A = this chain, B = another copy of it.
Amino acid sequence: MSPQLPQPQQQTRRPLAYLQKAVNKQVAVRLKSEIEYRGKMSNVDPYMNVILVDAEESENGTKVANYGKVVIRGNNVLYVRIEDRL
């Protein structure tokens, strides 16, 4: 599935390349605060700036808002959780 040269161990892919592979998948982006955004990660860059579409904002597990298209600035990100299969 990968366009790069063969890699004997797929799991040794670097974190940012791994995120790039998750483009168009469903993800959850947790921020340093207790806020979390879930949606389709329509793109991401090496700074971890993320475009989410059909995003849902939740705080402490409670859904608080829906957004069509949001660009999250990477320095606020605590982690990106990939919810779909890669």
Contacts and interface: CB of A to CB of B under 8 A. Distances in A.
A63 interface: no
Query: Is the contact region of chain A dominated by helix, strand, or loop, or is it mixed?
Result: mixed
Interface residues of A, number: 48
Contacts of A3: 1-5, 20-21, 23
Contacts of A71: 15, 18-19, 79-82
Nearest to A41: B11
Among A2, A11, A51, A78, the most chain B Cβ lie within 10 Å of the Cβ of A51
Interface in A1-52: 1-5, 9, 11-16, 18-21, 23-24, 31-33, 42-45, 48-51
A43 B14 contact: yes
